[in-house]
Amino acid sequence: MNKFKSYLKWRYFISFVTNNHKFKNVRLNNYDNYRGFSILLVVFLHLISFYTGEFSFYDDLYKFLYTFLMPSFFFISGYFSKVDTDIIKSFKRLLIPFIIFSIIYATELFLFFGKPINFSMFFIVKGYLWFLMSLFLMKLILPILDRIKHVFYLSLIIALLVGFTSTYVLSIPKMLCFLPFFILGYNYKIYLKNLNSFIEKLNLFKIKKLFNNPIFCFILLIIAFILAWLLASNIPKSAYLMSVTYNSLGVGHVHLPIPEILIKILSRLSILILGVIIVILINHLMPKNKTFLTIFGINSLAVYLLHMPFIRLILKIDNIGIFHFLKTNLIFSLIFLIIISIILTYILSRNIVTKFVNKLNDFIADLLLK
């Protein structure tokens, strides 16, 4: 009887442990918050993109946000990536949603805006879904990248060299330009460990203590933001999109002289370095407790997939002309677009929306895969 009671107690303990949230695959709130923060700004970024021609402020703001927004997503994706991840899993999570929502978005543009459907969109990737294609390619080559020494520095060099060529095929130039951020996220724990070892060897504990101070890091982030804004004010938008050649950044089809080419290369390098600094600082400062951003981050994929079709639809059915009126007043439009971004992100980040997206994705995956 005593043995039986001991057995029951043991089973109860095991049941408690396995059902306790601390022992499950616990989500990291700081990274969910980071995703939530980033996806909210992505929605805002795409909203203001319709008004960059009306206000130069929006043009600079677009470039400023682009400095760290997509790098943030690639950094977070790299952080949670594994070499042994099944490629079929990546295909289901990235490529199938890319195909599904490329068709949905193209159909919407055809029905409401009269733009012809071109099925080359699956190969000549120009739309907002390029991130999924680029991330899939990164995960595809991750086993190779994982074996290369000093791969982060190599990826930076490649990101600079790719500016001498241009193609929209599978969004390869963009993928290569944002690859350093993916690698940074993937090796982030290793880099931190090496940095701590370096600090211990040189007895730089005061510096480590300084960087552990959130106020100091926040001041550094503000300085980085100021530098990023100054850079955005003096560099063309095309330089931030990472999909055109250095020569294309010149006037017409005139090839730039070597000194100007070097300036373009240094500009891209500056954008990348500032992106790295800002991404690390935001990641360091992101709260580890649950916030209103957490649910945005948990369901960020659904928000990303659906926000552009919703934005286009809202603009189409705006019979009152509110969005047209936004072109006449910068302050009013800024406040209004911030509110719309929050509302749209909130609606699309509901669990029921994510469940719908997942079921649709699983249904198509079952049709395509055995």
User: If pLDDT is split at 50, 70 and 90, which confidence band does 138 have?
Assistant: very high
Find the mean pLDDT for residues 184-198.
87
What pLDDT, on a 0 to 100 scale, did the predictor assign at position 263?
80
Is the model more confident about 209 or about 159? Answer: 159
Find the mean pLDDT for residues 195-214.
75
In terms of C-beta density within 10 A (0-12 exposed, 13-18 middle, 19 or more buried), how is residue 269 classed? middle
Mean pLDDT of the chain: 83
Asked if the model's pLDDT at residue 250 lies above 50, the reply is no
Is the model more confident about 320 or about 329? Answer: 329
pLDDT single digits (tens) 343-353: 999 999 999 99
Asked if the model's pLDDT at residue 7 lies above 60, the reply is no
The identity of residue 52, as a single letter, is T
Is the model more confident about 284 or about 257? Answer: 284
User: If pLDDT is split at 50, 70 and 90, which confidence band does 253 have?
Assistant: very low
- What the block records as the tokens of 182 is 């993916």
Q: Are 163 and 241 in contact (CB under 8 A)?
A: no
Tell me how far apart the alpha carbons of residues 41 and 65 are, in angstroms, rounded to a whole number. Answer: 8
DSSP labels, 89-122: HHIIIIIHHHHHHHHHHHHHHHHHH-PPP-GGGG
Find the mean pLDDT for residues 166-176.
80
Asked if the model's pLDDT at residue 108 lies above 80, the reply is yes
Q: Are 168 and 126 in contact (CB under 8 A)?
A: yes
Is the model more confident about 370 or about 228? Answer: 228
Share of the chain above pLDDT 70, in %: 86
Nearest to 46 by CA among 356, 369, 304: 304
User: If pLDDT is split at 50, 70 and 90, which confidence band does 4 have?
Assistant: very low
Asked if the model's pLDDT at residue 320 lies above 70, the reply is no
User: If pLDDT is split at 50, 70 and 90, which confidence band does 22 have?
Assistant: very low
pLDDT single digits (tens) 285-313: 999 999 999 999 999 999 999 999 888 88
Q: Are 181 and 71 in contact (CB under 8 A)?
A: yes
What pLDDT, on a 0 to 100 scale, did the predictor assign at position 114?
74
User: If pLDDT is split at 50, 70 and 90, which confidence band does 238 have?
Assistant: confident
Find the mean pLDDT for residues 164-190.
87
Find the mean pLDDT for residues 239-265.
64
The identity of residue 151, as a single letter, is V
